[in-house]
Amino acid sequence: MPDAVGGTTGLLAGKRGLIMGVANERSLAWGIAQAAADQGATLAFSYANDAVERRVRAITRDLERAILLPCDVASDEDIDRMAADLARQWPGAPIDFVVHAISYSDKNELLGPYLQTSRRNFAIALDISCYSFTAVAQRLAPLMRPGGNFLTLTYLGAERVIPNYNVMGVAKAALEASVRYLAVDLGARGIRVNAISAGPIKTLASSGVSGMRHLIKWAELNAPMKRNTTIEDVGRAALSLISDLGQGITGEILHVDNGYNVIGMLAVDEALRSVPVLADLGAQAERQKAAADAEVETEVSAEEGDRA
Ligand SMILES: NC(=O)c1ccc[n+]([C@@H]2O[C@H](COP(=O)([O-])OP(=O)(O)OC[C@H]3O[C@@H](n4cnc5c(N)ncnc54)[C@H](O)[C@@H]3O)[C@@H](O)[C@H]2O)c1
């Protein structure tokens, strides 16, 4: 007997989920969407703007019954409209899970020292990368079926200092704290809230972090499993949280990073291959510092010229 929604078999048969944050086939959200669709879920996708819409429309064209909804998460009105659209298109208590895979910072502040973070970019990065999860939970929790859940994406830079991750590390730390507070607020309604802390993966967003290719190589050499994390790894792990397999899990930050978060020092057996990666990152930092110093010198000379 076919289910009212979604596929007929699989961990998510008969369930409906909203996926926020697919930009292209490399997106972590797309890894989760594919895993969820394979397990029978019916999906809706939100997109930030027209350019993203075109890409999301193209890659979701083979998904049966997929709904696409605009939502810039910096706007409460957009989130309200998205919730109303979902309630209309999926009548009744429409949602079983929501995946929030969204972050933003000015990439000019994802290099060099965190000390240089501007007030403006701090506010924008925290708003889009952290507060939006709470804003979405406010609007969508009332539309959730019992046993529903929210999932967001975080990174080790929340817990430890990662070169150039800067304000995003602060935003992710706040996001992880939000997961715990929301888990308590929504637990009484039978709704769970979790996060996956993924290892570094090349995506549009991560390419904004200076030296990301070095971080990825470093993780591959030094993670206990000696391999990089993939969006498929993230998708499979997400299934354990967004399906009923995760019924006893809330407020959790699940590391999906091939074990990288447990290491305390670089892998001795890969030291000779790791050192050049570190040297490259060091050389890049030197070049950035020299460029920043030159810029300050130019500004000082210009000011002196103005005064002369
Ligand atoms: N790639 C990694 O190495 C990595 C590791 C750990 C965690 N994460 C997290 O995974 C999540 C997804 O990032 P990704 O790496 O898949 O990159 P991505 O570029 O594919 O996805 C980021 C998404 O955020 C969306 N977005 C940005 N501003 C928005 C706004 N105002 N409104 C709505 N959407 C907006 C973009 O449109 C895009 O779809 C992010 O939270 C990121 O921090 C990524």
The per-residue pLDDT for range 170-179, each reduced to its tens digit, is 999 999 999 9
- Give the pLDDT confidence score for residue 308 in this predicted structure: 61
27: left (phi over 0), alpha (psi -120 to 50) or beta: beta
The per-residue pLDDT for range 69-102, each reduced to its tens digit, is 999 999 999 999 999 999 999 988 789 999 999 9
| Whether the predicted pLDDT of 285 surpasses 50 | yes
Give the residue carrying structure tokens 């110093």: 293
Residues 6+ apart with CB under 8 A from 26: 201, 202, 203, 204, 231
155 CB within 6 A, ligand 1: yes
| Whether the predicted pLDDT of 2 surpasses 50 | no
Q: How far is the CA of 247 from the centre of ligand 1 (A)?
A: 26
Mutate to test the pocket of ligand 1, among 50, 156, 203 (most ligand atoms within 8 A of CB): 203
53 CB within 6 A, ligand 1: no
> Which atom from ligand 1 is nearest to the alpha carbon of 229?
3
47 a catalytic residue: no
The per-residue pLDDT for range 219-245, each reduced to its tens digit, is 999 999 999 999 999 999 999 999 999
> Which atom from ligand 1 is nearest to the alpha carbon of 29?
16
User: Averaged over 105-121, what is the pLDDT?
Assistant: 96
Q: Does pTM top 0.85 for this prediction?
A: yes
165 a catalytic residue: yes
105 CB within 6 A, ligand 1: no
Q: How far apart are CA 209 and CA 120, in angstroms?
A: 18
Concatenated DSSP letters of 170-211: HHHHHHHHHHHHHHHHHHTTT-EEEEEEEPP---TTGGGSTT
- Give the pLDDT confidence score for residue 223 in this predicted structure: 97
| Whether the predicted pLDDT of 1 surpasses 60 | no
Give 171-177 contacts, CB < 8 A, sequence gap 24+: 171/103, 171/105, 171/125, 171/126, 171/129, 171/130, 172/103, 172/129, 172/130, 174/126, 174/130, 175/129, 175/130, 175/133, 176/253
**Pairing of the two strands 42-47 and 253-256:** unpaired
Mutate to test the pocket of ligand 1, among 34, 159, 179, 206 (most ligand atoms within 8 A of CB): 206
What confidence category does residue 304 fall into, taking pLDDT thresholds of 50, 70 and 90?
Answer: confident
Sign of the CA dihedral running 159, 164, 166, 171: negative
> Which atom from ligand 1 is nearest to the alpha carbon of 21?
39
Task: Give the C-alpha distances (Å, rounded to integers) separating 116 from 98, 113, 181, 209.
Answer: 34, 6, 30, 15
- Give the pLDDT confidence score for residue 41 in this predicted structure: 97
139 phi and psi angles, rounded to 5 deg: -80, -30
> Who has greater pLDDT, 147 or 129?
129
Mutate to test the pocket of ligand 1, among 28, 49, 52 (most ligand atoms within 8 A of CB): 28
Q: How far is the CA of 227 from the centre of ligand 1 (A)?
A: 22
| Whether the predicted pLDDT of 3 surpasses 50 | no
User: Averaged over 267-293, what is the pLDDT?
Assistant: 89
> Who has greater pLDDT, 140 or 267?
140
Sign of the CA dihedral running 164, 167, 170, 176: negative
**Six-digit token pair at 173?**
């730390």
**Pairing of the two strands 16-20 and 95-100:** parallel
